[in-house]
Amino acid sequence: MLLAGDIGGTKTVLAIYSPEQGAHEPLVEQTYPSARYASLEAIVTEFLAVTDYAVERASFDVAGPVVAGRAAITNLPWVIDEQVLQETFGFEMVKLFNDLEAIAYAVPFMHPDELETLNEGRAAPGGTIAVIAPGTGLGEAFLTWDGAHYHAHASEGGHADFAPTNGLEMAMLDYLHIRYDHVSYERICSGMGLPNIYAFLKDTGRAEEPDWLAAALAEATDPTPIIVTAALDESRACEICKLTLNTFVSVLGAEAGNLALKVLATGGVYLGGGIPPRILPQLKSKRFLKAFLRKGRLSHVLAPMPVQVILNPRAALLGAASYGLGLG
């Protein structure tokens, strides 16, 4: 039996799996509000106390970097340690990995209805797979084939230098460079980046902010959902929000293409995170693929690569379970 978990600053999802049922069908699953507990150990203790399964192994993805089997969780005062968990609960094995690494492990086991195709392409058998995930931040990872299994590799590619591809983006880089010492892709292509695009368009006079939107943003603790909702609202035109989202989509397409080139993702490119499923119509427009393929002499290398959006909101948990069951 395997205990798998998706550990985040807001919630912790735990589930128990058996090899017979597989990673898509947990035997039992429960969600806990992370902040109400002093540690992951406290949640696991409560979870196991109300189940009748004897767990032997555990794998957890965490919202934060994992170094030497230890992880400090973003937005929580927790430190999670593989050895401590193993000794506390008597597990035979405990594995911690970054949440994006877990999403990468899930990719080879995705069902067709868990994906939305942006570019049909044709995956090369055993080809490297790239994963890019704009959510609160911008995560990037990739998978390589060893002849029998895919292995996921974490990265911090989202913090690489932003490279503008047109005059608007060049002006945006100049604008953001005044605000930030270092302008990365995450400063633009993420939930925290969308307000930066919006502020640039507003402050430089490239688009006007309507009064109703200014009032809504003034009351919001997080402007990103308001900007995205207004951009998608066909009943009320909001040009500044539409231009914000269009710029976001272009930058995402360009960086997805950059990652695909860097790892030579002949096995495909997958978009994870919370934002892509929310903006599927924009991603399926020509804007995204045009930016993805615009790589000069190497455009022909990217054209055959499948590009898909991950729709499964439990992708990280699926990856943790797949790895823990020995499927990864």
Distance separating alpha carbons of residues 40 and 12, to the nearest angstrom: 9
* Whole-number Å distance between alpha carbons of 100 and 88: 26
Hey, where are the domains in the chain? 2-98+314-324, 111-310
- What is the CATH code for 111-310? 3.40.367.20
Q: Which amino acid is at 51?
A: T
Q: Where are the alpha helices (DSSP H) in the chain?
A: 40-49, 82-89, 99-106, 167-179, 194-203, 211-219, 224-232, 239-263, 280-283, 286-293, 299-302, 315-324
pLDDT tens-place values along the chain, 328 residues long: 999 999 988 899 999 999 999 999 999 999 999 999 999 999 999 999 999 899 999 999 998 888 999 998 877 899 999 999 999 999 999 999 999 999 999 999 999 999 999 999 999 999 999 999 999 899 999 999 999 999 999 888 999 999 999 999 999 999 999 999 899 999 999 999 999 999 999 999 999 999 999 999 999 999 999 999 999 998 988 999 999 999 999 999 999 999 999 999 999 999 999 999 999 999 999 999 999 999 999 999 999 999 999 999 999 999 999 999 986 5
| CATH number for the domain running over 2-98+314-324 | 3.30.420.40
